[in-house]
Structure 1
Amino acid sequence: MYEVKKISAGILPTNTYVLYDSQTKCCVVVDPAFDGDKITKFIDEKGLKPVAVLLTHGHFDHCGGAKPIVEKYGVPVYGSEKDAALAASASKNLWGVFCHDCKITDYVDGIDSFSVGSFSFGVMKTPGHTPGGVCYFIDDIMFSGDTLFKECIGRIDLPGGDYREMMDSLSKIALIDKNYKVYAGHEENTDLFHEFRFNPYLSAFKRSK
């Protein structure tokens, strides 16, 4: 059985998720934000065994806390090669916020799925907010990063943002026929069928199908 712990941190704030298997105790950390020590404390208190870090994109507020996790547990970092340079320069963010640079070690660009530890993830490329945006799927869970929020979407006016790519990504999400629980990069969590009804960006695509 999979469980998800949400840890919100930082000035924005960003949602970091620890997905763990209650039977095997394996876990992955999705989008480790600023406070890597807070994340490792939860992992150790639960007796979890980290097997990977997953990045939905390379912005500093989604990868700036990865370094303490990688150094302590020796885990790989999955993400898009298109955002590798962005993550690698996270400390030079435009907000002037202290965080660590992050090295993506395992690229997901050429695959639709991968397995690590006791987990098997589906991968959907969702550029728009950044060139290397990715959504991850497992069981009834969707990690949407800054592509999809509750009744909204991620910004496209930041460097690397692209309106047309975001619309293409949303059109792909609109084709999904399963009601995933959506764990977003900021704000509240939601579910996909709710977004199909009440998110104006997604509902427009659903009406056109």
Structure 2
Amino acid sequence: MIEGRGYDSNIYIFEDVVVDTGTGENMGYIKDSIKKAGINPDDLSLIVNTHNHYDHTGGNRCFNLEVAMHSDDVESFERGDDEATVASMFGGSIEGMKVDKKLEEGDKIHDFTVLHTPGHTKGGICLYNGETLISGDTVFAGGGFGRTDIGGDVNDMQNSLEKLSKLDVKYLLPGHGPCTSQGSRHIKMAFDMAKMF
């Protein structure tokens, strides 16, 4: 895990995969953190974006890697829609960025399975390996969940959190904030909170 700085999302690396890349504003810190972890950047081959928001995708252009994203978030991303990707909120742009692989529910990335979890965006995903959930902005430690007012949908979020609440999650690795080793408890808290909307 590379903890997000400023507006950057957290970044996770497993095997040859980078999950999310932040805004691109703190790339020196990110690349130094990768090297300090003993990872050779040349061994990385794929970026998986948990959704198309700029604070998770802006750094994509700083890596020369293939990019994978859920198909429901690709169109607005590739057309450079700075509103849908909230790049304009961060004073940035995603113009000219491309996606090489469109992900769908059930796709495998090494030991992790792609779970389509719309709510924060239409194409939000989590990655789950039976113990660890990399959750993007679907759910956070402490029972929080991603905003639904910037391209999302509260009913979708409720359904996604219900789906996640049925999993046995030990380690919850969210898009922002701290991780927790009591993942299922925090997901259930978020689901209970979402049901009140």
TM-score by length of 2: 0.80
Q: CA deviation digits over 1:150-173, x for unaligned, max 9?
A: 211110011x21111111111111
Equivalent residue number for residue 183 of structure 1: 173
1:153 aligns with 2:130: no
The answer to whether residue 9 in structure 2 is matched with residue 9 in structure 1 is no
- Superposed CA RMSD in Å reads 2.4
Q: Is the 8 A contact 1:64 1:90 kept in 2?
A: no
2:73 alignment partner, one of 74, 78, 83: 83
1:117-154 CA-partner distances (Å, limit 9, x unpaired): xx332111000100000001235221100000121111
8 A contact 2:139–2:190 mirrored in 1: no
Segments of 5+ residues of structure 2 without an aligned counterpart are none
Deviation beyond 4 Å, 4+ runs, structure 1: 202-205
Relative distance call for 1:14 and 1:167 in structure 2 (3 A) is: same
1:122 aligns with 2:113: yes
Deviations 1:34-79 (A, max 9, x none): 234433333345243112111110000000001111x2xxx32111
Q: Is the 8 A contact 1:57 1:130 kept in 2?
A: yes
Aligned residues: 183
Stretches of structure 1 lacking an aligned partner (at least 5 in a row): 20-25
Distance 2:90 2:107 in 1: 35
Superposition TM-score, scaled by structure 1 size: 0.76
User: What SS does the corresponding residue of 1:189 show, helix, strand or coil?
Assistant: coil
Deviation at 1:103, TM superposition (A): 1.7
| Conserved 8 A contact 2:132-2:172 | yes
Corresponding residue number in structure 2 for 1:64: 58
